[in-house]
């Protein structure tokens, strides 16, 4: 895996230029819709919406589908579990477990909901630079009463964007450690317990070191969370309001039709 | 602060390492492990904050809740109680370990069990009220299936939190 999935791709397309707040709110709305989707029509419609929204990003559909690849096994797993665990007439059965039509149906539904969520998140991540994303989150967090928690909205937003970045990094780190240990003669199939411990120890160590490096870098650049100015100011333009309206109309239509 | 972010994303990753049980609507995940580890390693303040960050990320729409769900709907759904329990569990576990003068694997383990009980009680309470189950049904569906897996995870978490300092 040379390329990180879920990473920012620089560009100047329509979606790149939108305000990050617009994109965040749209994703929030869309994720509610996705979780409400309950039959095949809904899924097809939502998939169409995804295609439409991904067009102005100028990245090509393939880029977004790449984000799905590391999760393929997971999808398969969800699908199998869902399809085995529901009742109905069995197509074939092996002892206790069997696969029914209802089960397959439910499995397809749950899996495709999940795929859609990942795809929408992929649009957001690949068109918004991490700096803008955290800026947008910060602006939205200002509305919450955070002083009760004893933390500023700057701190919270930077933590959110760091943890977003950590997920692909942890994945990459894990792959590297697996390869390193395999080249040292680790055999997960023959000694599973020993293998797990020889993966866990370097994993814990290297993640802690990674976090330490980041905090050192922030310290040495005099990071402080009380007040910060940013290089770019966010402005809601006509396009933003326009695209938010489109998303909202879609959401309202969706719920209206489902009633 | 960076460590709080780290634990938020670890909890997110933990949601994917899961062992679903066909009999129960709540999947078993590695999340409990990371939640309590965050509480015990970061202390009450930052442990709580890291869980808040995790919940906020989920609300924003990233598929990081158990089973790849996201959004406000999950937080108010039947399994939302567990998510709310995470925040309090991390706080209490951190607080207890701050009060106690010396740490050992056993002490950490006991504090984490208290945290685990908090997660369970929040989760079970919510499950009971949303899904209209009786107390015994909730115990069978929402708590008993996880206990063995979570206990094993807690031993590991207690071991790590004693061995490594942040």
Cβ-nearest to A211 among B3, B49, B67: B3
Q: Which of residues 50-79 of B touch A (CB under 8 A)?
A: 50, 52-54, 56-57, 59-63, 67-74
Using CA coordinates, name the residue in chain A closest to B62.
Answer: A121
CB count within 10 Å of CB A204 equals: 14
Q: What ranges make up the beta strands (E) of A32-165?
A: 90-94, 97-100
Note whether A170 contacts B10, CB cutoff 8 Å.
Answer: yes
Residues of A in contact with B5 (CB under 8 A): 158-160, 162-163, 166, 211
Q: What is the CATH number of the domain that holds B121?
A: 1.10.1760.20
Task: Enumerate residue ranges in chain A where pLDDT < 50.
Answer: 1-4
Q: Does this complex have an ipTM over 0.85?
A: no
Note whether A118 contacts B16, CB cutoff 8 Å.
Answer: no
What average pLDDT does the segment B97-114 reach?
81
Task: Please name which of A18, A240, A246, A250 lies closest in space to residue A126, comparing C-alpha atoms.
Answer: A18
Cβ-nearest to B164 among A120, A166, A204: A204
Note whether B6 contacts A81, CB cutoff 8 Å.
Answer: no
Given this model, what pLDDT does residue B23 score?
Answer: 47
Enclosing domain of residue B57: 2-163
Note whether B164 contacts A137, CB cutoff 8 Å.
Answer: no
What average pLDDT does the segment B89-93 reach?
87
The residue ranking higher by pLDDT, B98 or A259, is B98
Percent of chain B with pLDDT over 70: 69
Note whether A164 contacts B62, CB cutoff 8 Å.
Answer: yes
pTM to 2 decimal places: 0.69
Using CA coordinates, name the residue in chain A closest to B160.
Answer: A204
Task: Please name which of B8, B142, B146 lies closest in space to residue B80, comparing C-alpha atoms.
Answer: B142
What distances in angstroms separate CA B118 from CA A185, B33, B100, B161, one per listed residue?
Answer: 43, 14, 19, 19
Q: What region does B157 belong to: left with phi over 0, alpha with psi -120 to 50, or beta?
A: alpha
Given this model, what pLDDT does residue A91 score?
Answer: 58
Q: Are A22 and A139 in contact (CB under 8 A)?
A: no
| Collapsed DSSP state (helix, strand, coil) of residue A114 | helix
**pLDDT exceeds cutoff 80 at B24:** no
Note whether B61 contacts A137, CB cutoff 8 Å.
Answer: no
Cβ-nearest to A81 among B9, B16, B22: B22
Q: What ranges make up the beta strands (E) of B6-98?
A: 18-19, 28-29
Cβ-nearest to A207 among B6, B54, B56: B6
What average pLDDT does the segment B56-79 reach?
66
In tens, the pLDDT along A182-220 reads 898 877 777 767 777 788 788 888 888 888 888 888 888
Residues of A in contact with B63 (CB under 8 A): 31, 114, 117-118, 121
In tens, the pLDDT along B70-87 reads 656 566 666 777 888 888
Given this model, what pLDDT does residue A15 score?
Answer: 78
Given this model, what pLDDT does residue A98 score?
Answer: 60
Q: Are B52 and B89 in contact (CB under 8 A)?
A: no
- Residues facing residue A97 across a β-bridge: A94
Given this model, what pLDDT does residue A113 score?
Answer: 80
Number of Cβ pairs closer than 8 Å across A and B? 122
Note whether A114 contacts B68, CB cutoff 8 Å.
Answer: yes
The residue ranking higher by pLDDT, A212 or B147, is A212
Helix H or strand E encompassing A253:
helix A238-258
Q: Please enumerate in sequence order all residues whose Cβ is within 8 A of that of A17, keeping only pairs 6 or more positions apart, or say none.
A: A239
> If pLDDT is split at 50, 70 and 90, which confidence band does B46 have?
confident
Note whether B12 contacts A167, CB cutoff 8 Å.
Answer: yes
Q: How many domains does chain B have?
A: 1
Q: Is B155 on the interface with A (CB under 8 A)?
A: no
**Average model confidence (pLDDT) across chain B:** 75
Percent of chain B with pLDDT over 90: 0
């Amino acid at each position: 895996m040379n390329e990180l999935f879920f990473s920012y791709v620089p560009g100047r397309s329509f979606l790149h230029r939108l305000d990050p707040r617009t994109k965040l709110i749209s994703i929030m709305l869309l994720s509610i819709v996705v979780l409400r989707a309950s039959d095949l029509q809904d899924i097809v419609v939502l998939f169409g919406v995804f295609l439409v929204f991904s067009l102005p990003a100028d990245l090509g559909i393939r880029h977004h589908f790449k984000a799905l690849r590391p999760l393929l096994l997971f999808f398969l797993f969800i699908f199998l579990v869902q399809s085995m665990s529901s009742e109905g007439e069995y197509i074939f059965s092996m002892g206790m477990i069997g696969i029914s039509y209802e089960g397959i149906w439910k499995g397809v539904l749950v899996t495709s909901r999940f795929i859609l969520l990942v795809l929408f998140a992929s649009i957001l991540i690949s068109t918004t630079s991490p700096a803008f994303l955290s800026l947008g989150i910060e602006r939205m967090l200002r509305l919450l009463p955070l002083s009760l928690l004893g933390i500023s909205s700057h701190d919270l937003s930077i933590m959110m964007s760091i943890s977003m970045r950590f997920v692909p990094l942890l994945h990459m780190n894990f792959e590297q450690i697996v390869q390193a240990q395999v080249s040292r003669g680790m055999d997960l199939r023959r000694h599973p317990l020993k293998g797990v411990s020889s993966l866990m120890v370097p994993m814990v160590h290297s993640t802690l070191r990674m976090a330490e490096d980041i905090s050192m870098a922030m310290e040495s650049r005099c990071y402080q969370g009380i007040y910060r100015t940013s290089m770019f100011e966010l402005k809601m333009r006509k396009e933003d309001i326009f695209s938010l309206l489109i998303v909202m109309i879609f959401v309202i239509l969706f719920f209206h039709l489902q009633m | 602060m960076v460590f709080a972010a780290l634990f938020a994303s670890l909890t997110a990753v933990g949601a994917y390492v899961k062992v679903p049980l066909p009999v129960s609507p709540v999947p078993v995940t590695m999340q409990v492990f990371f939640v309590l580890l965050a509480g015990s390693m970061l202390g009450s303040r930052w442990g709580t904050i890291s869980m808040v960050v995790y919940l906020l990320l989920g609300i924003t729409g990233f598929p990081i809740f158990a089973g790849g769900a996201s959004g406000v709907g999950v937080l108010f759904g039947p399994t939302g109680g567990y998510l709310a329990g995470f925040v309090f569990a991390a706080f209490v576990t951190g607080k207890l370990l701050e009060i106690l003068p010396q740490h050992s694997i056993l002490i950490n383990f006991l504090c984490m069990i208290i945290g685990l009980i908090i997660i369970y009680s929040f989760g079970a309470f919510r499950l009971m009220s949303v899904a209209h189950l009786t107390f015994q049904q909730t115990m069978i569906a929402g708590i008993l299936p996880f206990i063995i897996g979570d206990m094993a995870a807690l031993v590991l978490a207690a071991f790590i939190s004693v061995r490594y300092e942040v």
